[in-house]
Amino acid sequence: MKLSVIGCGYLGAVHAASMAQLGHEVVGVDTDPDKIALLSAGRAPFFEPGLDDLLASLQDSGRLRFTTDISEIVGATAHFVAVGTPQRRGENAADLTYVDGAIEALLPYLSPGDVVVGKSTVPVGTAERLAHRIQEVALGAHLAWNPEFLREGFAVADTLTPDRIVYGVAAGESGERATAVLGEVYESMLAANTPLIVTDYATAELVKVAANAFLATKISFINAMAEIAEATGADVTQLADAIGHDARIGRRFLNAGVGFGGGCLPKDIRAFTARAEELGRGESIAFLKEVDAINLRRRQRVVDLVVDALGGEPNDKRVAVLGLAFKPDSDDVRDSPAVDVAIQLRGLGAKVSATDPQAIPTARRLHPQLKYKSDVSEALAGAEVVVLVTEWREYRELDPVAVGELVASKVIIDGRNCLDAAAWRAAGWTYIGMGRP
């Protein structure tokens, strides 16, 4: 099939390449010429394991091209909208400027029978509104909402082998056409028995935010237990192991630490709260405000632990910050707890040396004032406290004895509870975890 993908960020670039990998002919469109130039050269504009290889392998296939010219979508049957819906500045609600802009840009080029497929995370009610707009202007074109559940760091695998496919469609013939077209797009996945839920627009939109709200709640739940553990001398990691053995609870997403960040979970729970309030149902998910508050307290907790370790006097003290990305295997620093901790410590006068295997360029663009060291040994040199805030494999595997030779003082704050506390203590370190004695 001929497909177009509007927006070539973390979601759209991976979707475009994955659809071409499935055998479709895909044109990816983005307004950023630099991004398009890189993608056209077969290179990912951001770090995502496996994406560079996939793009390179598709270079000679003739099935994948990228452009800044939206008119090149003509001839495609399904048009995926994968642009961002960031948090509005100074508000909780989502900014729909890019989604609305993408739809308006598409409208003049749609043909009867075409299906616009929303993938962006939007407030419930958006699809209904956009469907009316499409009906008004592009007669005979249809809209489906097909949320995406990929995780950064696993984006290619999650796109090619999703654990479920959901689409929201209109009632009647429009919905039948959209369902048929998406059935062709995802034919190989459906043939592999991937669970499929075909539903209405509102449910499809809500599935996405409900999933992220649940995950955020799970993380904040265990971080709340970490706060209680800190007051009682209990160990939250053992607690998570023990409750996680109950299959109804499950051990995944029960890692306490500096909390969640990224371009999705934080802004999605805020936008969901704002939308529920608009609907007069703010009470129903008021607990998400608490989820957010618990999460943000963990960042402050890490900062407080560092300040305590420095005897309450952070000014001019050397602090090594290991990690900037919001999670390992990503260069994404949007709402990253790691960056937040580094910035706060610098604000308190500490001499922060921050490092990350991939995210220094993205962090530097947003926070040029921070001091970055691409070499982890240089970041550690002379540190009076080391704080680990993103659990990259290279940090989990650090040798406490070797690191001990580099620092001025052997104190480590493990903001992700990912180190072997006993091994670090045995090497003479003061090891401080999150919610652990």
The side-by-side arrangement of strands in the sheet containing 2-6 is 64-67, 25-29, 2-6, 78-81, 115-118, 142-145, 165-169, 196-199
Q: Does 151 bind ligand UGA (CB under 6 A)?
A: yes
- Distance in angstroms (rounded) separating the CA atoms of residues 309 and 413: 9
Size of the site for ligand UGA (CB under 6 A): 21
Contact at 8 Å (CB) between 281 and 321?
no
In the bound state with ligand UGA, the residue whose beta carbon lies nearer, of 152 and 414, is 152
State yes or no: is 264 an active-site residue: yes
In the bound state with ligand UGA, the residue whose beta carbon lies nearer, of 335 and 384, is 335
- Distance in angstroms (rounded) separating the CA atoms of residues 122 and 393: 34
Q: Does 362 bind ligand UGA (CB under 6 A)?
A: no
- Determine the distance from the C-alpha atom of residue 288 to the mean position of all C-alpha atoms in its chain, rounded to a whole number: 18
- Distance in angstroms (rounded) separating the CA atoms of residues 153 and 47: 8
SS3 342: helix
Q: Does 340 bind ligand UGA (CB under 6 A)?
A: no
- The CB-of-77 to ligand UGA minimum distance in angstroms stands at 25
Q: Does 356 bind ligand UGA (CB under 6 A)?
A: no
Interface residue with ligand UGA, options 30, 152, 331, 356 (CB under 6 A)? 152
Q: Does 212 bind ligand UGA (CB under 6 A)?
A: yes
Q: Does 80 bind ligand UGA (CB under 6 A)?
A: no
Q: Does 49 bind ligand UGA (CB under 6 A)?
A: no
Structure tokens at 370: 């921070």
Q: Which residues contact 97 (CB under 8 A, 6 or more apart)?
A: none
Q: Which of residues 365-424 bind ligand UGA (CB under 6 A)?
A: none
Contact at 8 Å (CB) between 352 and 338?
no
Which region, judged by CB under 6 A, interacts with ligand UGA, from 57-65, 171-179, 211-219, 278-286? 211-219
In the bound state with ligand UGA, the residue whose beta carbon lies nearer, of 301 and 327, is 327
Interface residue with ligand UGA, options 120, 121, 220, 353 (CB under 6 A)? 121
β-partners of residue 198 are 167
Q: Does 92 bind ligand UGA (CB under 6 A)?
A: no
- Distance in angstroms (rounded) separating the CA atoms of residues 284 and 128: 22
Q: Which of residues 235-264 bind ligand UGA (CB under 6 A)?
A: 253-255, 257, 259-262, 264
In the bound state with ligand UGA, the residue whose beta carbon lies nearer, of 67 and 223, is 223
Q: Which of 13, 131, 264, 350 is catalytic?
A: 264
Q: Which residues contact 55 (CB under 8 A, 6 or more apart)?
A: 17, 39, 42, 43, 44, 64
In the bound state with ligand UGA, the residue whose beta carbon lies nearer, of 250 and 349, is 250
Which region, judged by CB under 6 A, interacts with ligand UGA, from 150-158, 191-199, 279-287, 375-383? 150-158
Contact at 8 Å (CB) between 408 and 385?
no
- The CB-of-141 to ligand UGA minimum distance in angstroms stands at 26
- The CB-of-233 to ligand UGA minimum distance in angstroms stands at 22
Q: Does 272 bind ligand UGA (CB under 6 A)?
A: no
Q: What is the chain's alpha carbon radius of gyration, rounded to the nearest angstrom?
A: 23
Which helix or strand (DSSP H or E) is residue 169 part of? Answer: strand 165-169
Q: Does 83 bind ligand UGA (CB under 6 A)?
A: no
Structure tokens at 19: 């659809």
- The CB-of-263 to ligand UGA minimum distance in angstroms stands at 7
Q: Does 86 bind ligand UGA (CB under 6 A)?
A: no
Could you list the beta-strand ranges (E) of 170-275.
196-199
Beta strand 165-169 with 142-145 is antiparallel
- The CB-of-337 to ligand UGA minimum distance in angstroms stands at 6
Q: Which residues are catalytic?
A: 264
Task: List residues near ligand UGA by CB under 6 A.
Answer: 121, 148-152, 212, 215, 219, 253-255, 257, 259-262, 264-265, 326-327
